[in-house]
Structure 1
Amino acid sequence: MKLLISLLTLTVLCSWSSPLNHVSPKAVTRTADVIIYGGTSAAVTAAVQVKKMGRSVIVVSPDKHLGGLSSGGLGFTDTGDKSVIGGLARAFYGRLYDHYQKPGSWTWEKREQFGNKGQGTPALDGANRTMWIFEPHAAEQVFEDYVRENNITVYRNEYLDRATIGRATGGVQKRGNVIQSFRTLSGTLYVGKMFIDVTYEGDLMAAAGVSYHVGREANSVYGEEFNGVQPGVFQHGHYFKTNVSPYKTPGDPKSGLLPEVSPEPIGEKGSGDNKIQAYCFRMCLSNHPDNRIPFAKPAGYDPARYELLARVFANGYTETFNKYDLIPNRKTDTNNHGPFSTDYLGKNYDYPEATYERRREIIRDHELYQKGLMYFLQNDPRVPADVHERMQQWGLPKDEFTDNGGWPHQIYVREARRMIGEFVMREADALGKTTVPNSIGMGSYSLDAHNAQRYVKADGFVQNEGDIGVHPKQPYSIAYGSILPKETECANLLVPVAMSASHIAYGSIRMEPVFMILGQSAATAAVLAIQSKVSPQKLPYEKLKAVLLKDGQRLTL
């Protein structure tokens, strides 16, 4: 009887289909020396590097658009010390410089009118022929140019079969500790000698049975200071600077909590939890009347959802536009700023491990929250008049994300799974206080984590927690072992994005230029390992270092 029920259940599951689980009756096998899974900026630099080294490569991308956040709205590049950005990453920003030298690239303003400064240096750096601040479509075109010029094979809308997530069965076929192939939901089999997971989520890594962590480690795990729960640590302006009641009736707990406030008590300082820093969309906005899509009232809009922000305004808040960072052609890269902004606190905890269907729900929920916030700022009578007036000048750009109504195609996955690999990058490493072994690139940005929760303090007022911004004393090297799984777990996989780092160290490493750097270095190691007929873990570092330096990577100060 149990067997009959199991067979009936299997029949029902197999008969149900959706765009994400349909298996094609004409499933095929595709083979290359290196198989890259993901469509991020690291995917493109990795693929270009494999091609440069004379090996075959296939990019298997669940995304239609290449580039991840670099082409998905994050045009105001988080760079830190630009001098340590080398290789294909630097070449990417060089191509953007060339793009903006063309008069035809300036549609809605003249180049001379664009006087914005980047993070410490000019956006348009003529001395070094680099452009660090750019429009999404310009970045995506550079990535597509790389694909076309290098004749890179890319299969889009191809999702890894994660039916048995976390184990080396189902979608990933292994022989011992070596991946033989993986299957996508279309039924296609991808066979390779080496595999590179460049997803923000680390899906291939997890499905291959590699160890990883989700959430914040306790400070005691790696001997850190800024990991774990951090109440009372305020490094940016993303906290409540005045007393704001979280209750529907101010001061009355019996009235219930307002939306977007967690009823969960905060953990002990420095303790670990399963919370991750908030996600948002990096909106590209336009204030040109001929290139502006007004914000409409989104489905299910409820102004009560934004009551906390109304109370913040009532207390004199004036920083609404502090992160409307200007990019070319009268547009912005709009990021979170303040105690109640585009970061959607606490609504992404299950995203890293979620099914594709559940991830789509989370992404849609973030979109509606953020669109509702924009509508609230433009229309609600509780918003100050001067904010109303300025907000109504902004809308989504008609010439960006044209197949998605001007809305970014990529949510900002600031952090998801993080591998526990051969070497774990820790707080001291990312602060430049140590000498890490076998450098494959460098980082320099602040240890930057966004808030992870909004809670009620003991005094009855609301506060955010998790926002950290600690500056390294100097640029730091990133260890080769941090993109390698333990060899006993997988001997032909490299993971340059969901790489091996503590939560707080990852807060610095997780910048788009660094992902491009690590993508190129991972590809170099993969090809050299094939040539040497060894695992990446056994590849002599001096051999890898020589090629990285030849290709312009910056490895040490």
Structure 2
Amino acid sequence: MHRTSLTIMKTLALLAMTFTLVVGSHSISLAADNSAAIEAELVVYGDTSGGVSAAVQAARMGHRVVLVSPYGHLGGMSSSGLGWTDIGNKAILGGICHEFYHRIYQHYQQESAWNHQPREKFNNVGQGVPALDEKTELASTFEPKIAEQVFDQLIAEAGVTVVDGRLAEQQGAVMSDNRLTAIRLEDGRVLAGRVFVDATYEGDLYAQAGVSFFVGRESNEQYNETGNGITGPLGGNQLPDGIDPYIVPGDASSGLIAGVNPTMGGPVGSGDQRLQAYCYRLVLTDLPRNRVPIEKPADYDEAAYEILFRAIEVGQTSRFFKLDWVPNRKTDSNNASGISFDYIGGNYGDDWNWTTLSYAEREENAAKHRDWQLGLIWTLQHHPRVPESVRRRYLPVGLSKDEFADNNHIPYNLYIREGRRMVSEMVMTENHCRNKLPIDDSIGMGGYTLDSHNIQRFVHNGMVKNEGDIQSRISGPYRISYRAITPRRTECDNLLVPVALSASHIAYGSIRMEPVFMILGQSAGTAASMAIRDDLPVQEVPYTQLRERLLQDDQRLELPNKK
């Protein structure tokens, strides 16, 4: 019998009893019963696109797989409003990722798919590629509910067991030395496995397992980068000049308006613990029969939109949010300018950030993000300080009635652009993304711009300015290292991390695209299968064998002219 199987049996036996574990001065009940214990070869925690790909791949390779879904809906951001895909370079798309976008393309070839809009009326515009590309037979734009249907199909066809639930906030990771043996959910259910995948955007499982991580921005000096750390008031998604920072314009003694810091907090290039802004990718429509009007949020505070009013006063009349069209007259609506959907500074504070919050606190914080965005739309549609011409332009849009119907038409996932980032033996940096440093154990490629949304607002030369936005082009696709998804072996030897992986802030800004998460998820599922089959720590999976199987399954590990 494999040593890992023996460990699982011992773990289940222990968890079937009621006993007390003493940790420091705290006593923690580990009560459970046999009926609550679930055993699998691979346990995937997280219902993101990367989690789905990892689970499907391992199941296709013949393993018993359980996927734990914290949201009760599969696909993460790909089924939560991000329907205008950030591909970067279509050459990177292979395997399950390619299959996902091809299945969506096939869906829109059916006449019945076009229930709100004739197909010939769709503009077919995507980000740098046709939305529905006849040459590649891939779809890069789509409705969230169709994405979720495809994820559900992939999981069902592969025979993956899906369990709805969240990791217990305390003692959720059950460890034996440097090995995960089980995870415990909030309701006491226990899932034992031989290998685990943390596919959350936040890295919640590996944090509990004691794996090293970083939150915030490293200094440029740390990894010899140029695009990390505090940026200064750069031009991308910047506020227009002339916005006075004080409650009473020109009077510093009146205090700063909402959301503005007095300084940047450090010199350009230095690190900090702040996070780039989050938002919901709202799905809007101007089609009356499918539109839910935007109501004024119950806790609406006019003062929260003072920067918006002042931006309009100094001349801004558009780009308050995007209207990127997906099929059936719906949008993927994202941040579009210096004052837009991003709730800048809303995901961290002096002694907290999104990753440190309890589940209840995250839900409260997500509600603040939701209300900020709904309040911004309502303000643009109705507030008397907004010119009538602007109000008239934005008034036709509302939430899509046939999306997220069980969640008041709000996406299930807030867009966690960045949370924890693992620190393993290999940290992906800007220099890897620019192909200045070699990668000899590629498990997939990235190809998107080095990207960060704004991180704070501060007073600069007597005006309010944004700080943190980076949009720096790269020359082409780059390899991503297997070591970047494996923790240090001394910390955990049976865990893979394809989403909140080991990368610097700015490198993660390119890697963090949904196609890449699917690619890395499939590679993680393949490595997990090999670790299970040969009873190996994930760090010892032979790369030559891993590479052979990845290529067999159509993963793209480098461009044809690269070795």
TM-score if structure 1 supplies the norm length? 0.93
Contact 2:320/2:341 (CA < 8 Å) preserved in 1? no
Once the two structures are superposed, the pairs formed by residues 384-403 of structure 1 within 5 Å of their partners are 384-403=387-406
Partner residue in 2 for 1:52: 60
Whether the aligned pair in 2 keeps the contact of 1:27 and 1:187 (CA below 8 Å) is: no
Q: Quick check: 2:285–2:330 contact (8 Å CA) kept in 1? A: yes
Paired residues of 2:321 and 2:340 also in contact (CA < 8 A): no
Match of 2:40 in 1: 32
The answer to whether the aligner puts 1:74 opposite 2:82 as a matched pair is yes
Amino acid at match of 1:509: I
Structure 1 residues 180-220: Cα deviation after superposition (integer angstroms, max 9, x where no partner): 11111111111101000000000111000000000000111
| Alignment RMSD (CA, Å) | 1.8
Matches within 5 A, 1:158-169: 158-163=165-170
Code of the residue aligned with 1:31 in structure 2: it is E
Partner of 2:365: 362
Give the superposition deviation at 1:430.
1.2
Q: Confirm or deny that 1:376 pairs with 2:379.
A: yes
Runs of 5+ unmatched residues, structure 1? 1-5, 15-21, 164-169
Q: CA deviation at 1:262?
A: 2.5
C-alpha separation in 2, matches of 1:201 and 1:470: 24
SS at match of 2:83: coil
Indicate the SS of the match to 2:183: strand
Calculate percent identity across the aligned residue pairs: 48
How many Å apart are 1:141 and its aligned residue? 0.6
- In 1, are the aligned partners of 2:321 and 2:333 still within 8 Å (CA)? no
The aligned residue for residue 4 of structure 2 is: none
Instruction: Supply the AA of the counterpart residue of 2:168.
Output: D
Deviation (angstroms), 1:437:
2.2
Asked if 2 retains the 8 angstrom alpha-carbon contact of 1:199 and 1:497, the reply is yes
Tell me the SS of whatever aligns to 2:284. strand
Deviation at 1:162, TM superposition (A): 2.5
The aligned runs of 1:192-211 (5 Å cut-off) are 192-211=193-212
Q: Give the match's secondary structure for 2:180.
A: strand
| Deviation of the 1:175 alpha carbon | 1.7
SS at match of 2:438: coil
Contact 1:36 1:43 in 2 (8 A): yes
d(CA) in 1 for partners of 2:199 and 2:26?
32
SS of aligned partner of 2:233: coil
Query: Is the 2:56–2:154 contact (alpha carbons within 8 Å) kept by the matching residues of 1?
Result: yes
Is 1:27–1:186's contact at 8 Å kept on the other side of the alignment?
no
Assess if the C-alpha contact under 8 Å between 2:320 and 2:335 holds in 1: no
- Asked if the contact 2:320–2:337 (Cα under 8 Å) also holds between the matched residues in 1, the reply is no
Q: 1:61 aligns with which of 65, 69, 72?
A: 69
The CA deviation at 1:25 is 8.0
Within 5 Å, which residues of 2 pair with 1:228-307?
228-234=229-235, 236=236, 238-263=237-262, 265-307=264-306
Change in 2 beyond 3 A, CA 1:24/1:486: closer
Deviations 1:270-309 (A, max 9, x none): 0010001000000000110111000011111122221111
| CA apart distance, 1:503 | 0.2
Q: Measure, in 1, the Cα distance between the counterparts of 2:475 and 2:229.
A: 22
Stretches of 4+ aligned residues off by more than 4 angstroms: 22-27
Contact 1:266 1:455 in 2 (8 A): no
2:470 is equivalent to residue 468 of structure 1: yes
Q: Is it true that 1:498 corresponds to 2:500 in the alignment?
A: yes
Counterpart selection for 1:532 from 531, 534, 548: 534
Cα displacement (A) at 1:366: 0.9
1:162 aligned partner, one-letter code: E
AA at the equivalent of 1:127: K
Answer with 501-510 or 60-69: which moved more: 60-69
Q: Is the contact between residue 209 and residue 492 of structure 2 (CA under 8 Å) also seen in structure 1?
A: yes
Q: Please, which moves more after superposition, 251-260 or 53-62?
A: 251-260
Q: Which residue in the other structure is 1:83 paired with?
A: 91
- Alpha-carbon deviation of 1:152? 1.3
Following the alignment from structure 1 to structure 2, what is the Cα–Cα distance between the partners of residues 10 and 398?
48
Q: Which residue of 2 aligns with 1:166?
A: none
Aligned partner of residue 480 in structure 2, secondary structure: strand
Q: Distance in 1 between matches of 2:210 and 2:140?
A: 37
Give the paired residue count. 532
Structure 2 vs 1, CA of residues 321 and 215 (structure 1 numbering), >3 Å: closer, same or farther? closer
Which amino acid counterpart does residue 274 of structure 2 have in structure 1?
K
Shift of the alpha carbon at 1:61? 1.5
Could you tell me whether the CA contact under 8 Å between 2:39 and 2:193 is conserved in 1? yes
Q: Which amino acid letter does the alignment assign opposite residue 528 of structure 1?
A: M
Alignment match, 2:17: none
Kept after mapping to 1: 8 A contact 2:347/2:354: yes
Separation in 2 of the partners of 1:102 and 1:92? 17
In 1, Cα distance between the equivalents of 2:262 and 2:185?
A: 40
Q: Which amino acid aligns with 1:100?
A: Y
Q: Is 1:351 equivalent to 2:354 in the alignment?
A: yes
8 A Cα contact 2:238 2:337, kept in partner:
yes
> Do 1:437 and 1:480's aligned partners in 2 also have CA atoms closer than 8 Å?
no
- In 2, the alpha carbon distance for the partners of 1:407 and 1:66 equals 15
Q: Which moved more, 1:39-48 or 1:378-387?
A: 378-387
